[in-house]
Amino acid sequence: MFANQIALVTGAGRGIGRAIALKLAAAGFDVAVNYCHSAAEAEELAARIVILGRRAVAVQADVADGDAVRAMVAEVEDRLGPVSLLVNNAGVSWTGLFQDTDEAVWRRLFSVNVDGAYHCIQAVLPRMLREKDGSIINISSIWGLHGASCEVAYAATKSALEGMTRSLAAELAPSGIRVNAVAPGCIDSDMLRALGEETVASLTEETPMGRLGTAEDVAKAVRFLALPDASFITGQILTADGGFTL
């Protein structure tokens, strides 16, 4: 068993990742705050977590770069200790017609959303296997389950992440390592607001609970899966979508 509970949250500088990092810190985890470009936000978040009484470090890496990820994990292990919880939150999106999706966009979405998770899991897994303990939580999307017009590339990456979650859960369960995913629905965020007021209103109306989700809603789902109360749960895709996919 890991002596300390240390979480690495990718893409944690802002938005959902930030909410997850704070929720895990409040639950007793020390937190490594990964960022790609949001250095100031990540440093501020790490400082806030320290004020909460937990250890924290801000660590830079583009998760699409395997060498950068390995260096990041080595730094986290040196400064905090081995990672017992990995939250693969870093992701990018793109909206547009499939015929307008050029190869560069397609490759970038897969390199961050799918390869990024692969790189991070590969980097933390050896320690988890030695300890026969650990938890991996992937942040997916209801579009990976449901599909969405003009979201083909993004939905394809999230479907791949969900397939990875289920398959890796089966492979790692005998080693005591749990793998789950949280699939957010329509979350009130800069990414969603960029779609325009009309689209946001339509998605809100389509959500049975009659409101958009929040980053806090997603963070609470991650916290549940991370804590011992979920110790018999693995291979699951937990939707936090207000009933959108019913």
- Give the model's pLDDT for residue 86: 98
For residue 246, being part of any structural domain is answered with no
Angle at CA of residue 16, ends 11 and 179, nearest 5°: 75
Q: Which of 29, 35, 143, 154 is catalytic?
A: 154
DSSP 19-34: HHHHHHHHTT-EEEEE
Say whether pLDDT at 157 is over 90.
yes
For residue 163, being part of any structural domain is answered with yes
For residue 81, being part of any structural domain is answered with yes
Q: Region 47-75: what's the mean pLDDT?
A: 98
For residue 89, being part of any structural domain is answered with yes
For residue 193, being part of any structural domain is answered with no
Most distant CA atoms of the chain, gap in Å: 51
Say whether pLDDT at 190 is over 80.
no
The pTM of the full predicted model, rounded to 2 decimals, is 0.96
- Give the model's pLDDT for residue 120: 98
Q: Region 110-118: what's the mean pLDDT?
A: 98
The residue range of the domain holding 129 is: 6-186+215-240
For residue 209, being part of any structural domain is answered with no
- Give the model's pLDDT for residue 199: 84
The total number of structural domains in the chain stands at 1
CATH number, domain with residue 17:
3.40.50.720
Q: Is 35 a catalytic residue?
A: no
